[in-house]
A and B are shown apart, each in its own frame.
Chain A
Amino acid sequence: MNGYMGEIARVDLTQGKIMTIPTSDYKSWVGGHGMGSAIFFDLVKDKTIDGFNPANVVTIMTSPLCGTLVPAGSGRTEVQGIGVQSYPIGWFTRSNFGGRFSTMLKHAGWDGIVIEGRTDSPVWIDIRNRTIQIRDCRSLSLWGTDTRTCQERIWSYVCGTGTFGDWLKPHGEEGGKTTQRPAVLAIGPAGENLSRMACLIHDAANSSGQGGFGAVWGSKNLKAISVIGTGSINIHAPKALMKARLRQMDKYAFDLDNRKRKPLSTVFDAFPRPMTLWGNPRGSKRPSEGQRPVACVGCHAGCRGRYESGLGNEAHCAGTAFYSEASSLDIQRRSSDLLNRFGVNVFEAWRGLEYLRGLNREGVLGPGKKIDFPLTFKNYGSYEFVEQFIKIIAFRNDGHGHKSQAGDDLGEGFVRAAKKWGRLEGDEGDLKTGWLNFPYWGLPNHYEPRTELEWGYGTILGDRDINEHCFNTIFWDVLISRFTGSKPSATAEETVKIYTDKMIPFQGDRLMMDYGTENMYSEHMAKLVAWHRHYARFWKQSALLCDLRWPDFVNPYAPDKVGSTGESEQVFFNAVTGKHFTFLDGIELGRRIWNLDQAIWTLQGRHRDMVHFADYIYQVPYGGPSFMTSKVNGAWEYANISGRCINKEKFEEFKTRFYHLEGWDPETGYPSRSTLRSLNLGYVADELEKNGKLGKG
């Protein structure tokens, strides 16, 4: 099987057993998320268990494209399982990280790893080619270390008497040689202490941030997985892959000799540049020291960096937007390092800190206050402050090693903490006013659901902040243009045409891109949301194309600005695998995966009645900037859609339309047998029926 290694490792921590699953058993799901969902469905019989239950299964999956030359499509790894971060239910969820882990896992001979059970004492998993061992953490004193120390100790151990930079035989005389360090995925103290905001970290800052998987691992006493491999990934058509790569670069990637547009960062033609948002408004912004871009394996335009000072190596995006109130750029960069080393999910920490500060300013939170919280905010802006804050989350105490009830509360996540503190009660509850800006499933606001509809709808109909920037470029391109007085990359009409032409099988329905208030609950909008779910579930989360570079809709280098999405994905996929897979096949498979996920959530307890945003989304108009495509008086424009709420009743109508479109029972939101059968998921329908959760139809 070209692109595949043939087996998935299955590690039972309770029994201390290593088994294998033939990849061919799940080949219809292709890889990544699809395989992860299918394996989870099969292995976890009781889907209502809590994420901390040892029976929770965590899958870490590659795709056939990992470790190949697919540009921005070779370096990602998909993590799935029952999460512990979302509220009120820890949904079966996903997270994804970059770097070199998936490549190394495939070189070792594995298409993925499945973790189940729990050990009595902390362990790490040592994978060297086809040999997998569960090792006690004590010999390397790993438990209690930060993610950097943990990785460095494992590297040294695996390297043995060799030297990095030389050919090593990590597997003794049996295996091949490599110059590479093991690829390690680890938890920090946050995961060890079961903080619901704990994440998994690989290398300096590649993080599987959402879902609280750090805590899930912590509950299993799993500290790290290390993998080193020397094997080969078979490619169906090496020449075709090389040609496709070079052609894609030539026609669609950045060209420093021919710059086309102002530097957007979530596009295929982005420059290789650290996507840092360090922006200490008080002083300098981007570090002016020596640095390089850093890319995941095979990527054409790195989005990270490494620096002469070493501060904040590889940190990017939200991990660098955090703590912009730091009194110096250096402090802000060190805070990025703290997050990564302690293994704390930046997004919730960042948004939540703003909330805590507001409560402190209101006079209700602080040492000795109504919410007796150990942070004073008197030293806000200092390194000591942010270190204490991150340690509160990581250690669930006062940040100085002493017990603190409020600190422990915060380890449950901001919404659960707010609830415990009585902040969600009554008409002035923080989720009614928006003071706690966490609009969906107890998770922080990322892109505004009241305006960027595919984001908000996709999130509330799913399991987590979708974090899929497919249509988001419209938001940024236009916002920046409006702010600076420059032109966006394409007119509204061009944008709508290019996007909707590519959105097969719904192509041609231009109103899918009308974000205006009149259209926001329509069937057209339902199609946009559905298409987005299906595209992302397959092409981004199963084939594992990177969210920051795909899809390629509007590309200024292309004729008529028509980007390569719809054409290039299948070219690369087929060059690697030898299949005759079309873009539409991918969308259809994405629909199948999305249906399986909905079935899992249904079994977890989801009903349409609980699919609702926090109250403030319905009550408080969004006052920030937002310009999205909309048809106004018969003409397409980038309309200002700020200042509105979502209408709760009309949202109910939207849900009904969406469920109809997906072929789910509109009364409940449950998938129906006819739909599942049409997707070869009859066995899923059987399980839903057994649990009284099969939708009608």
Chain B
Amino acid sequence: MGKLSGPDKEVAFRVLQEVGFEERIVGYQVRERSGTMIKSLYSFEEVVAFLNDQFPVLKFDELKRWLQVVMKDEELALKVEEAVEQGHTDYERTRRIRDLMRERLVQCKNARWKKA
């Protein structure tokens, strides 16, 4: 998968902010013996952390829509779609998506530092 190009200002801003209650994205935190727990995620960084868990369950189409509508990050949303298509298992898919989103997060944080 190709690297992400740098984010524009709006994306960089949104990625580093918490989102409002209605803009949250919901996944299922799945922990052995503890069942599944619905997790509301209120920021891009929280989604990255969530995807770093052992069995993170997130609906990929919802994630794509969230990236497009809430984060306004069309490029990343398309990369996520690519990752879903290329992955053979959900484990692979979530790891690829996590890595992409982590990359974007680092880009945005670096951009903030530069601005500062």
Contacts and interface: CB of A to CB of B under 8 A. Distances in A.
A277 B55 CA distance: 12
Interface string B41-66: 01000100111111101010000000
Central interface residue in A354, A479, A484, A623, by most chain B CB within 10 Å: A623
Given A484-B89, A485-B89, A321 B31 contact: yes
Contacts of B42: 361
A41 interface: no
Interface stretch (B5-13, B32-40, B70-78): B32-40
A469 B90 contact: no
Contacts of B53: 279, 281, 324
B52 A625 contact: no
A448 B28 CA distance: 12
Nearest to B56: A281
Contacts of B31: 277, 279, 321
A476 interface: yes
Nearest to A469: B33
A172 interface: no
B28 A624 contact: yes
Contacts, number: 88
Contact of A281 (B34, B52, B90, B91): B52
B90 A624 contact: no
Interface string B13-43: 0000000010010001111111111111010
Interface string A453-490: 00000000000000001001000100110111100000
Contact of A282 (B39, B52, B55, B59): B52
Nearest to B18: A361
Nearest to A357: B40
Interface string B88-99: 111110000000
Interface string A307-350: 00000000001100100110000000000000000000000001
A480 B55 contact: yes
Main secondary structure of the interface of A (DSSP, over half): loop
A446 interface: yes
B37 A625 contact: no
A252 to B, nearest CB: 20
Nearest to A346: B34
A447 B35 contact: yes
A588 B16 CA distance: 60
A93 interface: no
A479 B34 contact: no
Contact of B33 (A275, A282, A324): A275
A483 B38 contact: no
Contacts of A362: 21
A518 B71 CA distance: 41
B91 A277 contact: no
Nearest to A472: B33
B58 to A, nearest CB: 11
Contacts of A238: none
A266 interface: yes
Interface residues of B, number: 31
B30 A625 contact: yes
B36 A448 contact: yes
A264 B32 CA distance: 8
A265 interface: yes
Nearest to B46: A325
Nearest to A475: B35
Nearest to A622: B36
B28 A625 contact: yes
Nearest to A277: B31
Contacts of B59: 623
Contacts of B28: 623-625
Nearest to B20: A361
A446 B91 contact: no
Interface string A526-557: 00000000000000000000000000000000
B90 A479 contact: no
Contacts of B92: 485
A279 B54 contact: yes
A351 B51 CA distance: 20
A265 B89 contact: no
A351 B39 CA distance: 10
A624 B59 CA distance: 9
Contacts of B46: 325
B55 A483 contact: yes
Given A277-B34, A354-B39, A479 B24 contact: no
A45 B87 CA distance: 63
Contacts of B49: 281-282, 325
Nearest to B52: A281
B40 A358 contact: yes
A362 B39 CA distance: 14
A446 B89 contact: no
Contacts of B38: 354, 434, 437, 624
A277 B51 CA distance: 15
A445 interface: yes
Nearest to B92: A485
Contacts of B50: 281
Given A281-B52, A324-B53, A363-B21, A318 B34 contact: yes
Contacts of A469: 33
Nearest to B39: A354
Contact of B91 (A265, A448, A483, A625): A483
Contacts of A434: 38
B34 A485 contact: no
A276 to B, nearest CB: 10
Nearest to A486: B89
B76 to A, nearest CB: 19
A275 B91 CA distance: 21
B35 A446 contact: yes
B53 to A, nearest CB: 5
A414 to B, nearest CB: 14
Contact of A265 (B21, B24, B32, B35): B32
A331 B21 CA distance: 26
25 contacts: A265-B32, A277-B32, A277-B34, A279-B53, A282-B49, A350-B37, A351-B37, A354-B37, A354-B38, A357-B40, A361-B21, A362-B21, A434-B38, A437-B38, A445-B35, A448-B35, A476-B32, A480-B32, A480-B55, A483-B55, A483-B89, A624-B36, A624-B38, A624-B57, A625-B57
Given A277-B32, A351-B37, 13 more contacts: A265-B33, A277-B31, A279-B53, A285-B54, A362-B21, A437-B38, A448-B36, A485-B92, A623-B59, A624-B28, A624-B36, A624-B57, A625-B36
Query: Which 9 residue pairs are nearest across A and B when measured between Cβ atoms?
Result: A485-B89, A281-B49, A624-B28, A281-B52, A624-B36, A484-B91, A447-B35, A361-B21, A362-B21
Interface of B: 21, 24, 28-40, 42, 46, 49-55, 57, 59, 88-92
